[in-house]
A and B are shown apart, each in its own frame.
Chain A
Amino acid sequence: MAEIKLACNIVSQVEAICDKHNNDPGELINILHEAQSLQGYIPEEMQRLIAAKLGIPASKVYGVVTFYTFFTMTPKGRHPISVCMGTACYVRGAEKILDELKRRLGIDVGETTPDGKFSLDCLRCVGACGLAPVIMIGEKVYGRLQAADIKNILDELE
């Protein structure tokens, strides 16, 4: 097993989460939700640690992490951007918004800018279809967008 390089306090927090769920493999998804909330992503070492605590192979944890889109192994940017790719947004031009974001940030979906400022993701329906097309940056929803609005939105974020 690879050496675990997580910070000590993170290790103890992950262990506490597992203990809280009685180290029950049936609770794996709930454990991963809580573990991800610590740093915003679930690095390999954290997966190994959870596997060891629950007494299951690391491959099993990895299998679950990679199966569900909510879990991620890459750190998010300070301003995580999610483009809604629900059908309502798609027919109202979400793809053009996404293209513009990719072009301006120079990254693809699932990536983070080298300075750690922005990360780009797609999500399926925010449920604000009346405002389509929408993107979310952090918790904030930007609606009724055009590709031309993107520059100003990005410029305003520190």
Chain B
Amino acid sequence: MTKFTISDLEKLRVSAAANLTLRESSNTLTSGICCSLSTGTPKMQILVCGGTGCKASASHTIADNLKSAIERENAGDRVEVITTGCFGFCEKGPVVKIIPDNTFYVHVKPEDADEIVKKHIIGGERVSRLLYTDPKDGHAVSDSKHIDFYRKQVRIALRNCGFIDPENIDEYIARDGYRALAEALSGKRSRQDVIDEIKKSGLRGRGGGGFPTGLKWELTAKEKSDIKYVVCNADEGDPGAFMDRSIMEGDPNSIIEAMTICGYAIGASKGLVYIRAEYPLAIHRLRVAISQAENYGLLGKDILGSGFDFDIEIRYGAGAFVCGEETALIHSMEGKRGEPTLKPPFPAQSGYKGKPTNVNNVETLANVPVILQRGAEWFASIGTEKSKGTKVFALAGKINNVGLIEVPMGTTLREVIYEIGGGIKNGKKFKAVQTGGPSGGCLTEKHLDTPIDFDNLVAAGSMMGSGGMIVMDEDDCMVSVARFYLDFTVEESCGKCVPCRIGNKRLLEILNKITEGKGTMDDLKMLETLGRTIKDTALCGLGQTSPNPVLSTLENFYDEYVAHVKKKECPAKQCKALLTYAINPVKCMGCNLCAKHCPAEAIVGTTRKPHVIIQEKCIRCGMCLSRCKFNAIVVC
């Protein structure tokens, strides 16, 4: 164990930075040449995405195969394979990047490793079939800097994700890691200075609430107590949002540094990370980072010789969405059911084990070290008047470029969906974008030019939430989307307060009725009244926001609700009970394929003669539709 002083840290930074020069230089390289060992490039690196999405497509096997291919070419001393955190461009995963020429390979398979090494690394020729193709003009783009998906992004919280090896603390240090902490502990910044800087930056909580972070720290700092706690809320429960996991997987040290700085500022010496047990890779990387930081004396007793003590422990969540609410989270950490309690008292006054506790979300914390290094003014210069900096969004659904993106606050939905996201999948028509997860709402075409920030989204009837952004097209039924979210909330309600436990259940029942074609116009009125009542009377954030998906779809897609009720029709052809499958006898070639795959044996007919669906037997699973090669299945 090496106990670091501040000068040791600076020395390590210089030597570690040398190892990163290759990668840093590729960020500014513009020549577009293809580097290789045969053309005299002395050292090369292959970055392989090790995020959960790419790992699900065997990126670890790709890394292994690359290593063996390099061995076979006897190039082990000149080429290094590095597994990084998430690159963000999940749609194109697994992703592999070649340094220093910045070549970006997409949809890489384990069997491509040999060709990448032989052709590119040794031979100096790009593997063109693995390059990204610009959907606009069909041209191959080799350098990731020139891909639209990345061009508009500003990466602050994700600054190191997909760039450094998350399991090597030296690479974090090389990227100015632990510099902000060292500065604070060296006496250059007093506790109040740190808090003031965060306040001045305008940083607001990224977990959903948008509460000013500096103010939260100040409130906890003011409390007089022998023991205080810093808690990192990593219980990312919003279905479809995975930025916190990506940050922990790709840059765990930034969280550790930020928590330590927070501990110093508020006078706490104990940190706890409350993380979902379903995130094994993030837990692993966090553990590795904690032990490496402890080894360097960046955690533990007398950090950097300053006399300040701080350590971090990991607590597991066990799958309860409500635990993202800070009082519920604290109860869960105490070994209890994660039920929220009324505030005040705020956790700043009485939190974990009754002691003052500061709870911040992962993405919020990831911004802290950069703000202190580059200054509050710099951070405040990005974003809108009341929402500073950037926000990470998990862009998913019916969009071409699914992935994790980070954009300045104030970017419009249109820029996100059409420029970064590459537009709607399969040339379909945009219908809505859902932000804020189960607590948010659906925004429509008329909101596309709204600059995204905390307040604008609320004004539009949705919310920022943790940053899930699900794009929907003309084939999505908004009534069943509302039902999907309500189903989630009902399942996740802790049951403590009546409006949430019973009110949401009633909302769900009404929505089920409507999607089954049994709704009445009175039901629509009831949805609205009941939704507003729950909003006003539920105890915690989960209950108060749970009717949002219903209220916002009612407002923006009222006609669709009416079609379900009055005409007993689902315009998007999604609600099973309202659909009829039939075969167009003109188009049907009698190939038997649908009949063979129909799980209900509901299709009859003789070969080469038009087939018929027996409606009484049809279970409306859509199997025939997906199987028919002649577009002969009609849904009405």
Interface residues of A (CB under 8 A from B): 24-30, 32-33, 63-64, 67-71, 85-88, 90-92, 96, 99-100, 103, 123-132, 134, 141, 143, 146-148
Q: Chain B residues near A90 (CB, 8 Å)?
A: 239, 484
Complex CA distance for A26 and B237, rounded to whole angstroms: 23
Q: Chain A residues near B92 (CB, 8 Å)?
A: 130
Q: Chain B residues near A128 (CB, 8 Å)?
A: 52-53, 56, 90
Q: Chain A residues near B623 (CB, 8 Å)?
A: 147-148
- Does B390 have its Cβ within 8 Å of any Cβ on chain A? no
- Does B336 have its Cβ within 8 Å of any Cβ on chain A? yes
A26-B334, A92-B398 known; A87 vs B239 contact (CB < 8 Å): yes
B228-253 CB mask vs A (1 if < 8 Å, else 0) is 00000000011111100110000000
Complex CA distance for A32 and B56, rounded to whole angstroms: 28
Query: Which residue in chain B gives the minimum CB-CB distance to A84?
Result: B239
| Contacting residue for B318 out of A70, A131, A141, CB 8 A | A70
Determine whether the beta carbon of B396 is less than 8 Å from that of A129.
yes
Q: Chain B residues near A67 (CB, 8 Å)?
A: 320, 337-338, 494
Determine whether the beta carbon of B396 is less than 8 Å from that of A88.
yes
Complex CA distance for A129 and B278, rounded to whole angstroms: 16
Determine whether the beta carbon of B319 is less than 8 Å from that of A68.
yes
Query: Which residue in chain A gives the minimum CB-CB distance to B242?
Result: A127
| Contacting residue for B626 out of A29, A129, A146, CB 8 A | A146
Query: Which residue in chain B gives the minimum CB-CB distance to A93?
Result: B622
Q: Chain B residues near A24 (CB, 8 Å)?
A: 335
Q: Least Cβ distance of A130 to chain B in Å?
A: 3
Determine whether the beta carbon of B472 is less than 8 Å from that of A91.
yes
Most buried by A among B240, B338, B472, B494: B240
Determine whether the beta carbon of A141 is less than 8 Å from that of B56.
yes
Most buried by A among B321, B335, B337, B619: B335
| Contacting residue for B242 out of A68, A99, A129, CB 8 A | A129
10 examples of A-B residue contacts, CB within 8 angstroms: A29-B332, A68-B317, A69-B320, A87-B397, A103-B621, A127-B53, A129-B90, A129-B394, A130-B402, A141-B57
Most buried by B among A67, A91, A123, A131: A91
Determine whether the beta carbon of B472 is less than 8 Å from that of A130.
no
A87-B437, A129-B90, A129-B240 known; A28 vs B402 contact (CB < 8 Å): no
Q: Chain A residues near B238 (CB, 8 Å)?
A: 125
Determine whether the beta carbon of B278 is less than 8 Å from that of A64.
no
| Contacting residue for A91 out of B91, B317, B470, B494, CB 8 A | B470
Query: Which residue in chain A gives the minimum CB-CB distance to B337?
Result: A67
Determine whether the beta carbon of A87 is less than 8 Å from that of B242.
no
| Contacting residue for A130 out of B93, B241, B319, B485, CB 8 A | B93
- Does B481 have its Cβ within 8 Å of any Cβ on chain A? yes
Q: Chain B residues near A92 (CB, 8 Å)?
A: 397-398
Determine whether the beta carbon of B278 is less than 8 Å from that of A123.
yes
Complex CA distance for A127 and B250, rounded to whole angstroms: 14
Determine whether the beta carbon of A87 is less than 8 Å from that of B332.
no
Determine whether the beta carbon of B470 is less than 8 Å from that of A88.
yes
Q: Least Cβ distance of B312 to chain A in Å?
A: 15
Interface residues of B (CB under 8 A from A): 52-53, 56-57, 90-93, 237-242, 245-246, 277-278, 315-321, 332-338, 353, 394, 396-398, 402-403, 434, 437, 468, 470, 472, 476, 481, 484-485, 488, 494, 597, 599, 619, 621-623, 626-627
Determine whether the beta carbon of A88 is less than 8 Å from that of B402.
yes
Query: Which residue in chain A gives the minimum CB-CB distance to B434?
Result: A87
Complex CA distance for A12 and B622, rounded to whole angstroms: 52
| Contacting residue for A29 out of B242, B318, B494, CB 8 A | B318
Determine whether the beta carbon of A147 is less than 8 Å from that of B397.
no
Determine whether the beta carbon of B56 is less than 8 Å from that of A64.
no
A67-B337, A127-B242, A131-B53 known; A32 vs B626 contact (CB < 8 Å): no
Q: Chain B residues near A143 (CB, 8 Å)?
A: 56-57
Classify the interface of chain A: helix, strand, loop or mixed. Answer: helix
A92-B397, A124-B239, A147-B621 known; A30 vs B315 contact (CB < 8 Å): yes
Q: Least Cβ distance of B89 to chain A in Å?
A: 8
Complex CA distance for A65 and B53, rounded to whole angstroms: 30
Determine whether the beta carbon of A69 is less than 8 Å from that of B319.
yes
Complex CA distance for A24 and B317, rounded to whole angstroms: 17
Determine whether the beta carbon of B335 is less than 8 Å from that of A33.
no
Q: Chain A residues near B394 (CB, 8 Å)?
A: 88, 129
| Contacting residue for A70 out of B278, B397, B403, B619, CB 8 A | B278
Q: Least Cβ distance of B420 to chain A in Å?
A: 14
Query: Which residue in chain A gives the minimum CB-CB distance to B472?
Result: A91
Query: Which residue in chain B gives the minimum CB-CB distance to A85?
Result: B239
Determine whether the beta carbon of B318 is less than 8 Å from that of A124.
no
Q: Chain A residues near B494 (CB, 8 Å)?
A: 67
Query: Which residue in chain A gives the minimum CB-CB distance to B320?
Result: A68
Q: Chain A residues near B316 (CB, 8 Å)?
A: 29-30, 33
Q: Least Cβ distance of B10 to chain A in Å?
A: 37
A69-B320, A125-B241, A134-B56 known; A87 vs B470 contact (CB < 8 Å): yes
Sample of 15 further A-B pairs with CB below 8 A, known A26-B335, A70-B318, A147-B623 = A29-B316, A32-B318, A68-B320, A69-B318, A70-B317, A70-B319, A87-B240, A91-B398, A91-B476, A99-B621, A100-B599, A103-B621, A124-B488, A129-B396, A129-B402
Q: Least Cβ distance of B418 to chain A in Å?
A: 18
Query: Which residue in chain B gives the minimum CB-CB distance to A99?
Result: B621
Q: Least Cβ distance of A109 to chain B in Å?
A: 11
Complex CA distance for A129 and B91, rounded to whole angstroms: 8
Q: Chain A residues near B599 (CB, 8 Å)?
A: 100, 103
Complex CA distance for A88 and B402, rounded to whole angstroms: 9
Determine whether the beta carbon of A87 is less than 8 Å from that of B237.
no
Complex CA distance for A2 and B621, rounded to whole angstroms: 47
Query: Which residue in chain B gives the minimum CB-CB distance to A134?
Result: B56
Q: Least Cβ distance of B473 to chain A in Å?
A: 8
Q: Chain B residues near A148 (CB, 8 Å)?
A: 597, 623, 626-627
A27-B335, A71-B318 known; A130 vs B470 contact (CB < 8 Å): no
Determine whether the beta carbon of B318 is less than 8 Å from that of A130.
no
Complex CA distance for A127 and B246, rounded to whole angstroms: 9
Determine whether the beta carbon of B318 is less than 8 Å from that of A68.
yes
Q: Chain B residues near A88 (CB, 8 Å)?
A: 239-240, 394, 396-397, 402, 470
Query: Which residue in chain B gives the minimum CB-CB distance to A60?
Result: B336
| Contacting residue for B335 out of A28, A86, A99, A103, CB 8 A | A28
| Contacting residue for A33 out of B318, B403, B437, B619, CB 8 A | B318
Q: Chain B residues near A29 (CB, 8 Å)?
A: 315-316, 318, 332-333, 335
Q: Chain A residues near B333 (CB, 8 Å)?
A: 29
Most buried by B among A27, A123, A147: A147
Q: Chain A residues near B237 (CB, 8 Å)?
A: 124
Complex CA distance for A134 and B450, rounded to whole angstroms: 32
| Contacting residue for B53 out of A26, A28, A86, A129, CB 8 A | A129
Determine whether the beta carbon of A132 is less than 8 Å from that of B402.
yes
A71-B318, A87-B484, A128-B56 known; A64 vs B337 contact (CB < 8 Å): yes
